[in-house]
Amino acid sequence: MSNTSLEILPTPQPVTAIESPLLPKLHRTGVWRERLELLLLIVLVFTVVNLATMRFFIEGPSMQPNFVAGQFLIVSRVNYLLGEPQRGEIVVFDAPGDDDHATNPLLIKRLIGIPGDHIRIERLTVDGETAVQVYVNNVLLDEPYINQDGIPFNCTQYCDLVLGPNQYFMMGDNRNHSNDSRAFGPVDRERIVGEAVIRYWPPSDWGLVTHIAYPG
């Protein structure tokens, strides 16, 4: 009968975490701190959106048939920080000549002429019907977007002119019922607030409005 020797192994010891001074300690963020950070993020986003855009309310008939009173638009300020206004765009601006008035509302019109353009506006009567024709650099504009019923706008002072540097010519789509550059003249670049990009109210009229109804 052989003798069997048994090897007694040491009892395993519980493993303890080794704290390294090089590793940062992780702490659970408190609920209130999370809520505060979320609130600050919302305020930041709201501030950025308000700096980049503005809301505009349509009043009056000057942009019919494409815009009617009671509609709300989002106007982008960023578009003209990154680029220059272009023909056909729907622009919100501060009209010249009314800075001293108690109420100085912003206007919304279609941009017809850019710096250097020769603008010429003429009346044409055919079969007793009178219409206003707009020429840019001696080319008759194709304007399927306008409404031109009733008595034509009396254009006298700003009917034939060449736009200077940083000057733009604005006209309403409802040609015979619009106070625009035919009355107050060219609009300086610094007076342009932004481009209308979205119509968001009423919901049935929601959609993009950039170059609305303007031929390509």
Residues serving a catalytic function are 62, 109
- DSSP E strands, 29-117: 53-57, 72-76, 90-93, 107-113
Identify the burial level of 126 via C-beta atoms within 10 angstroms of its C-beta, where 0-12 means exposed, 13-18 middle and 19 or more buried: exposed
Look at the block and give the residue holding tokens 């959609």. Answer: 207
* Calpha distance 209→91 (Å, rounded): 11
In whole angstroms, what is the distance from residue 211 CA to residue 177 CA?
21
Residues 6+ apart with CB under 8 A from 203: none
Contact 153, 176 (CB under 8 A): yes
Separation CA 185–CA 167 (nearest Å): 9
Instruction: Tell me if 193 sits within 8 A of 56, measured CB to CB.
Output: no
